[in-house]
Structure 1
Amino acid sequence: MLLLRNGGRVNQRDATGATPLAVAAEHGHFHVAEILLNCGSRVNSQALNGESVLLDAAGSGNTACIQLLLDNGADPNLASSGGQLPIHKAAYAGHYDALKMLIPLTNKKSIKEAGRSPVHSAAEGGHTRCLRLLLAHGFDVNYRMNNRNSENYRDSRRSALYFAVSNGDVECTKILLAGGAKTDLDPLCCLLVAVRSGRYDIVKLLLAAKANVNCFFTVVSDTVFPTALQYCLKDEVMMRLLLNNGYRVESCFLCHHDDHGFR
């Protein structure tokens, strides 16, 4: 109040384009945000990266701040330059109550344009309660990220299940599989990720969900040498697990580059 009374500009931006209201929202300072709004702060201002004040508030998880911003006209469907919405931020940070507030206010069109589901965000953050909440509200467990989002990751991942498996997150993997997650939606199959990481528990879950034990990773090679077996040549336990679940051993001796088949 002292600064404002002495000429402080309520919508002054810092080097990142954030306003004082955005800073207050990010740190969950309800009373400061209330003062700034009463003094004319723009509720839907965006920083240089497109992140809105409400998105910052969603990251803090302060439901009082979120409600204050919504009551003053904050748009829950205002996306950042990277396509992130407040609902994504809340899901990734595991702010259950904030997520519960934002679910009915976020429209499907905005999520489609973002090219990423909040299910991805909850799985990436490893938040089981948020995952269950989103699935209970009908969010598609098999929604695939668009190319723009997928290319941000070296492995070009697409599915929420991939996030859980690559994180070694057993509980999130269980929830997603129970919700009907498919195991083959990514360039590098989830089973191969789990085998390569030596995660027997997750491999067993994926195999129980009918993951293809004979899947290949052909992005970097056009051979048909069994990829999963290649990942566990020094792991007898993992190899036995794969073999006992129907691995086609004869494929080790086949090469489609040779007309005679066996070499």
Structure 2
Amino acid sequence: MMKTSDFRAVRMIKTIAPVTLVFAMVACEPGDGGSPEAQAKAATPATPATPATTATPTTPTAVAATTTPVETTPKVGPRKISKDALPDKRKTLPAAPSGLTTGPTISSKAPTARPGLNDVAAPLDIAFDPPKLALGIMQPGVPKTGIIKMTNNGDAPIQIKKAVASCGCTTPNWPKTPIAPGESADIEITLKPSTKQGVKLSKRVTLQMVSGAPQVLTVEGEVGLFVSMEPSFLDAGKQTEADQQTVRLVAVDKIPFTIITAEPDVLSGVGGEKKLTHDLAIDWEAWEKGGRRPSVKLITDHPNAPELGVTVRRSIVRQKPLPPTPGANPARPVGGRLVNSARAGDVDAVKLAIASGEAVGQTSAGGMSSLHWAAKAGNMEVLALLLDASADPNLANKAGKTPVAMAAESGHLAALELLVGKGGSIDHVDQIGGTPLLWAVALSENPATARYLVDAGASVNVVDKSGMTPLIWAAGIGQPESVAILVDNGAEIDVVEIHSKESAMMRAARIGKAGSLRILLDADADMELKNMMGQTAALVAAAQGRFEKVKMLGDAGADLSVRDLRGWTVLDHARARTDGERTAVIEYLEATVPDEVRNAKPVVGG
């Protein structure tokens, strides 16, 4: 007869045992390591016991404990139990050490390798011809291209995943499809040197393979010394010294040449007749005012040195810090409470600042007033509060821009309409000669602001201090819709700016959107105008434009036989590229240019 304590023990075991099994099986789910040892450990009850298949019950209590069926285990919560965590009842499991049960054995067989692919780190049987690409003597600043033949001598296909150059001056072009055993493919490598002469170059291109060890290629070249320069650099910290007043250029190869341009324009003696020696005086004041650039770029008509550079070592100007203003909080933004609240778009704070009597004309850094910041953000509620408090819509910041210009260039039509309705001028000219319309077509991504200003009577032919019109700005960095608005409202199409003598079409061909170029072509803009380098829109596009723009000009009948002042053709400019569009542009032009251009000796890349 069972005692009361025995019945309690049986009831406790019936309750605890299933829960213990559930915990064991849950612990074997993915995320617990997945090793056979982890699964065996997790499937083991908390207290040691002999396997159920070998247990010999000697008491009623033991019988009840060992015969509790697993199938009657109640579900605990919604958590699912992995099938791999359950023991395989079709197999007899061997007893584990120390009398513990084990889980099923998990195969450690390695996955089968994909056919046709090599081990990632395995060496590949590849031959490169030549083993090292030697480009020989190179012109300063002029790219040169060479080809390495890659042959697969192995018994499985190989494929280049990516080619990585050691610097931005090297551009590889590699086959994108697999190379079968016994087959070869060409790898094209273009190296563009700096304008520094008399230096040796050694660069690397690493081929990352889809499978197999990486391959490293070496490309070498030497920039020849065709034009000597004395001094080799200018020192801005010694501007008053005699040897820092003039740069002398001498044709070492005895070929007379002319200096076509200097950028920035800080050197005298540019232009004129061909000579073996040029003495160029530097205007240090003009250099300071022009932004203290670290180099001066020279364009020449010398056949071997078309581009030269004069390095300017800039001195570090150290100034003593100003003493702090008594009581100033350096963490607080520059400007009063009203300006800072308007800049942050805090309507309640703006109301409080106005109510407390703060001047609505106060400014922050750069001369930006509260109204400037609100117009820039298009915050209509803050604008209304400030205008009702008599803020001036024609107040100019330090660059001469008004809130009207800020709203126009930021694309906020409603803000622009409100400001003009409150007396804001649409014809205000800032310090570089820009107007709200000029900045709207240049910077706004919302052409509606340009449309509003044109409809309100803004001039479409205003010219800034650089000779740039709204159309030139729009064609270069604006939206095609803005270009169309200007053209449709009488903008002069063929105006050229002062510094580079470029037209709107040239800007569109170089850096503008294809849609802008299309509009100008449809408006019969002159495709054969030349800039100060003697380059037409086709030459400019071949040098820097997207492939679609090069093709657009070619299809429109642009002269593809033209040469610039250096004698470069569209093919020469295309070969001098180092970007991803290079190959497509070259292939198109080689199939399109006249025979005399196609068969001419290459100036670049030969």
Instruction: Tell me the TM-score normalised to structure 2 length.
Output: 0.35
1:154-202 per-residue CA deviation (whole Å, 9 max, x = no partner) reads xxx7222233222362222222222222223333212112223485432
Match of 1:136 among 455, 468, 471: 455
Structure 2 matches for 1:110-189, cutoff 5 A?
111-114=428-431, 115-123=433-441, 124-145=443-464, 147=465, 150=466, 158-167=468-477, 169-185=479-495, 186=497, 187-189=501-503
In structure 2, the residue matched to 1:258 is none
Which structure's relative contact order is higher, taking Cα pairs within 8 Å and 6+ residues apart? Answer: 1
Gaps of at least 5 residues in structure 1 are 1-11, 151-156, 256-263
Which amino acid is the alignment partner of residue 207 of structure 1?
L
Contact map agreement 1:13 1:19 (CA 8 A) in 2:
no
1:55–1:85 CA contact under 8 A, matched in 2: yes
Q: How many residue pairs end up in the alignment?
A: 230
2:378 aligned with 1:61, yes or no?
yes
Q: Which moved more, 1:36-45 or 1:113-122?
A: 113-122
Distance 1:198 1:102 in 2: 31
Partner of 2:395: 78
The answer (yes or no) to whether the contact 2:538–2:559 under 8 Å persists in 1 is no
Aligned to 2:237: none
Letter in 2 for 1:161: L
Closer/same/farther in 2, CA of residues 14 and 21 from structure 1, 3 Å limit: farther
Amino acid at match of 1:122: A
Alignment match, 2:408 = 91
Name the CA shift for 1:253/1:55 in 2 (closer, same or farther; >3 Å).
Answer: closer
Preserved CA contact (<8 Å) 1:43 1:69:
yes
- Give the residue type in structure 2 aligned to 1:58: A
State the secondary structure of the residue aligned to 1:87: helix
Question: Do 1:16 and 1:48's aligned partners in 2 also have CA atoms closer than 8 Å?
Answer: no
Alignment root-mean-square deviation, CA? 3.1
Q: Which residue in the other structure is 1:229 paired with?
A: 538
State which structure, 1 or 2, has the greater radius of gyration over its C-alpha atoms.
Answer: 2
What's the secondary structure of 2:493's corresponding residue? coil
**Residues 134 and 236 from structure 1, CA distance in 2 versus in 1: closer, same or farther, beyond 3 angstroms?**
closer
TM (normalized to structure 1)? 0.75
Match of 2:521 in 1: 207
Which SS does the other structure have where 1:112 is aligned?
coil
SS in 1 for 2:366: coil
Amino acid in the other structure paired with 1:227: T
Residue-by-residue CA offset, 1:56-109 (whole Å, 9 max, x unaligned):
111221222112111212111110011111011111211111100112412367
Contact map agreement 1:50 1:79 (CA 8 A) in 2: yes
Q: Displacement, 1:249?
A: 5.9
| Matching residue of 1:242 | 553
The Cα shift of 1:140 comes to 1.0
Please list the CA deviations of residues 87-144 of structure 1 after superposition, one character each: whole Å capped at 9, or x if unmatched.
11111211111100112412367x1355321112222122111111111111112222
* Structure 2 letter corresponding to 1:231: V
Aligned to 1:260: none
Identical residues among aligned pairs (%): 27
Between Structure 1 and Structure 2, which shows a larger proportion of strand residues? 2
1:13-45 CA deviation, whole Å, 9 max, x = no partner? 976631111121123222221111111111111
Q: For residue 238 of structure 1, report the CA deviation from its aligned partner.
A: 4.8
- Shift in alpha-carbon separation, 1:98–1:237, aligned structure 2, 3 A: closer
Deviation of the 1:251 alpha carbon: 5.0
For residues 240 and 188 of structure 1, the distance between their equivalents in structure 2, rounded to whole angstroms, comes to: 20
Letter paired with 2:553: L
Partners of 2:393 and 2:512 lie apart in 1 by: 41
Cα distance change of structure 1 residues 42 and 253 upon mapping to structure 2, 3 Å threshold = closer
Change over 3 Å in CA distance of 1:59–1:143 after alignment to 2: same
